[in-house]
Chains A and B, each alone.
Chain A
Amino acid sequence: MADDSPASHRRDPIKSSVGNVAAQRRRQNAVTVGKERRESLVRAKRLCRVGPSGDGDVPGEENDMVTDEEGFLLDAQTSSAVEDLKSAIAYQGKGAMQKRVNALRELRRLLSKSEFPPVKAALKAGAIPLLVQCLSFGSPDEQLLEAAWCLTNIAAGKPEETKALLPALPLLISHLGEKSSLPVAEQCAWALGNVAGEGEELRNVLLSQGALPPLARMMLPNKGSTVRTAAWALSNLIKGPDPKAATELIKVDVLLDAILRHLRKSDEELATEVAWVVVYLSALSNFATGVLVKSDAILLLVERLATSNSLQLLIPVLRSLGNLVAGDSHTTSTVLIPGHEITDGVIKVLVKCLKSDHRVLKKEASWVLSNIAAGSIEHKRLIYSSEAVPLLLRLLSTAPFDIRKEVAYVLGNLCVTPTGGDGRPNLIEEHLVSLVQRGCLSGFIDLVRSADIEAARVGLQFMELVLRGMPNGDGPKLVEQEDGIDAMERYQFHENEDLRNMANGLVDKYFGENYGIDE
């Protein structure tokens, strides 16, 4: 099992003077602990702790970590808050509205307190129908806001909890309209974003209920937290796997303009969420990819990659670029033409990513390069003579496995001509010789030794290039020096037949009877 050691306490002790013990406890819990917490952290759902107008409890030391005893108390308080809400709704007399708002606010506070709000207790007490009632048309903004906020947090947790929002969906969607106040629309978008983040089924429900057009419209203004929340919700809504939502989105009038405008000018936080929308558009919809490639999108993505240092922004921007390169052959053949400024720009920002400290950036940048290296001979020459190659060679020997695998694809692609009609590419001897001389062979042989089928395959394929293509028959000697034979012989008792055949074939062919006699 992976290392379960508690978080290091290298934290600066000056950081939080108030509630230090609680903070420490919280931190410890944050890093260790079980599957449930880890699951909750990687969900595509987000708890709302602070309201649109800035009110609400700031995630604070005392409020955050809840012991079992406190949890019990919280559940009891929640049930009673739901009861209060029930009677507030029933009440018809003077000050009814204020009563309702107060009850909602109390429930909302209880649901925003900790990382694991008392959702179960709320549902059990029958919160949903009451909240749906509070969303009815004509209700005052404050009421709508608090109700939507409660629903947001109810939907931020486990699947069955999110599904409980089904009765509320049509009303939430209708409050996205232009007639609604911005904070209300935003809070509803947030709740819907959580619902969409649950899974394909709920996404389909939302799409069939018409959630997409109003959310798309919310992306049109130039700025504001509403735009950001809407973009985030949309990214959850279109993530498929069915591409139809992505295709529908790109067809919304002036939406492409808005996306480009945000990519060009908006602050990094907003641009990040918009970039994720582009990620899903480009990964799922060929139509959207075509539209994006023809627009300025690539230029804008490159610009962001060049100027930003925010990992949050760089990840989706890089991936969008990668999807556009991978998804459409036009990208490399008509936009990223070797010799053009934009192409140099792309290589430059990919190199920047290779140099970064972040694993995801290095891996995905290598992937993008490998696809560009799968282009024409001029593309291969371009990458071969760029700053990328020394970096890649170093990564091949020192980086974590998943990065090394991608790097292997780049280097190998540089050594063969484009896949032509008959499917049998030739070697580019100059590149192969140079890369081998610079020591890349051992990195490939390491991949052959790995337990990953794909990596082993890649390693063996490169070894074949070396064995076949190194001049003066140097290939076998070089492979032997790096213990390549031993690596291949491991496959005799490997369960994968393809790999066994590949390895055995190479050994038989290049290290057969006549190997080494004439020395």
Chain B
Amino acid sequence: MAMVVDYKHDSSFPYWTSIRRRFAPDSPFFSSGNIERELLAKQVALDFTEDERNQLEKMIDTDARGVFCPIVGCGARLTLLEDFEDHYNTRHTASCSVCSRVYPTSRLLSIHVSEAHDSFFQAKVARGYAMYECLVEGCDLKFKNYKGRQQHLVDKHKFPTSFEFFKKAHPSKKQRLKNQRKRAVNKKDEEVPSKMEVENEMMEGLVSAVSKLSTSDSSPSTVSFGRRNARGLTFVPRSIQPPLQKK
């Protein structure tokens, strides 16, 4: 039986360990069995059918089992765990009409749209206004740049350092290939400014792509769209993109 030795990567991930799990008799784990015990014991005396009993059990279980939506700032009460998927699809999938990224709240979506697709926003940033608002509802602080806001999220609101608001959602492979083909077709015609709206590239890649486009019809092979940069800062305010804007 082959075994794979795990590598010494981040010891912070809580790997699966197989251990025995024991529960106290009043643990919620046992509650449906306990309910069943009492209902069965009373079933004969009170004369309900098995179906009625099951229905009762379900109702009692539900009373006990509600859970709150764990998406930050939502707090909606879900009466059954099974409701979560529906709730999530209804309330937490606000999608951007420009780039199709999906956000869990309409507020975050509108922040994204301003920051990523609005040249007016960028103009104000360039003039030094604090435009990057804190993502935590109710905080209301604003920052002059993305990095500043990022740091605030980590320092003040305990966001993990790997959190990235602009981290590109990963399209499926099919989607990526489609994107690649589409971009290859559209590339030549596309305006420079709309190129700014594509977030999923490294700063250098973006700059070189743009400069290549503006000079000639060089092949796009060094420019990669799609998955490559999954991490990190992909959109940079105009004010610091050298070839495009004189400071």
Instruction: Give residues in A with beta carbon < 8 Å to B.
Output: 1-4, 7-8, 10-11, 23, 26-27, 30-31, 35, 38, 41-44, 46-47, 49, 59, 115, 239-241, 276, 279-280, 283-284, 311-312, 315-316, 319, 323, 325-327, 329, 332, 359-360, 363-364, 367, 370-371, 373-374, 377, 381, 401-402, 409, 412-413, 415-419, 423-431, 449-453, 457, 461-462, 464-465, 468-469, 480, 483, 485-486, 489-490, 492-498, 500-502, 504-509, 511-513, 515-517, 519
Min distance, Cβ B34 to any Cβ of chain A, angstroms: 7
Complex interface residues of chain B between 136 and 169 (CB less than 8 A to chain A) = 158-160, 162-163, 167, 169
A4 to B59, CA, bound (A): 8
Q: List 6 A-B contacts (CB under 8 A).
A: A2-B80, A370-B21, A426-B5, A500-B160, A501-B12, A508-B231
B35 on the A face (CB < 8 A):
yes
> How far apart sit A45 and B68, CA to CA, in the bound complex (Å)?
32
1/0 contact trace for B42-75 toward A, CB 8 Å?
1001111101100110111011000111111000
Q: Is the CB of B169 within 8 A of A517?
A: no
Main secondary structure of the interface of B (DSSP, over half): loop
A266 and B47 alpha carbons, distance in the complex (Å): 26
In the complex, residue of chain A having the shortest beta-carbon distance to the beta carbon of B78: A451
With both beta carbons as reference points, the residue of chain A lying nearest to B42 in the complex is identified as: A41
Q: A329: which B residues are within 8 A, CB to CB?
A: 20
**Given contacts A8-B51, A427-B3, A495-B71, are A373 and B231 in contact (CB under 8 A)?**
no
**Residues from chain B with Cβ under 8 Å of A10 in the complex:** 51
A284 to B224, CA, bound (A): 62
Q: Which residue of A lies closest to B1 (CB)?
A: A430
Q: How far is the CA of A59 from the CA of B176 in the complex (A)?
A: 69
**Chain A residues whose CB sits within 8 angstroms of the CB of B20 once the complex forms:** 325-326, 329, 332, 371, 374
Task: Give the distance in Å from the alpha carbon of A363 to the alpha carbon of B21 in the complex.
Answer: 14
Shortest CB–CB separation between residue B56 and chain A, in angstroms? 6
Verify B72–A409 contact, CB threshold 8 A: no
A415-B16, A494-B70 known; A429+B81 contact, CB < 8 A? no
> Residue B99 at the A interface, CB < 8 A?
no
- Would you give the shortest CB distance from A517 to chain B, in whole angstroms? 6
CB nearest neighbor in A for B68: A451
Beyond A507-B230, A508-B231: 16 further Cβ-contacts under 8 Å? A4-B59, A30-B48, A35-B63, A38-B56, A38-B60, A44-B38, A412-B16, A413-B18, A424-B6, A427-B4, A493-B108, A504-B163, A506-B13, A509-B9, A511-B170, A513-B230
Expressed in whole angstroms, the minimum distance between the Cβ of B139 and any Cβ of chain A is 14
Given A452-B81, A493-B108, A512-B230, check contact A7 B52 (CB 8 Å). yes
Instruction: Say whether A495 contacts B25, CB under 8 Å.
Output: no
- Supposing A425-B18, A451-B67 touch, asked if A240 and B6 sit within 8 A by C-beta, the answer is no
B185 touches A (CB below 8 Å): no
Query: Chain B contacts of A27 at CB under 8 A?
Result: 47-48, 52
A312 to B50, CA, bound (A): 13
Tally A-B pairs: CB < 8 A: 255
B15 contacts A by Cβ under 8 Å: yes
Judge whether B6 and A502 touch: CB under 8 Å.
no
Q: Which of B82-90, B115-123, B213-221, B238-246 contacts A (4 or more CB under 8 A)?
A: B82-90
Give the docked Cα–Cα distance between A381 and B231 (Å): 40
B59 near A283: Cβ-Cβ < 8 Å? no
Report the nearest A residue to B172, measured CB to CB: A480
User: Is B32 at the interface (CB under 8 A from chain A)?
Assistant: yes
B15 touches A425 (CB 8 A): yes
Measured between beta carbons, the chain A residues less than 8 angstroms from B79 are: 1-2
Is there an interface contact between A31 and B52, defined as CB atoms closer than 8 Å? yes
Residues of chain B with a CB closer than 8 A to A498's CB: 14
Contact of A30 with B52 at beta-carbon distance under 8 Å, contacts A412-B16, A461-B15 already known: yes
CA A415 to CA B3, docked complex, whole Å: 10
Q: Choose among B14, B33, B45, B48 the residue that contacts A31 (Cβ–Cβ < 8 A).
A: B48
Give CA–CA (A413, B70) in the complex, Å: 27
Selected contact of B34 from candidates A7, A42, A412, A519, CB within 8 Å: A42
Q: Which residues of A contact B21 (CB under 8 A)?
A: 326, 367, 370-371, 374, 409
Interface: B204 (CB within 8 A): no
B60 CB to closest chain A CB, in angstroms? 5
Within the assembled complex, what's the spacing in Å between the Cα atoms of A326 and B29? 14
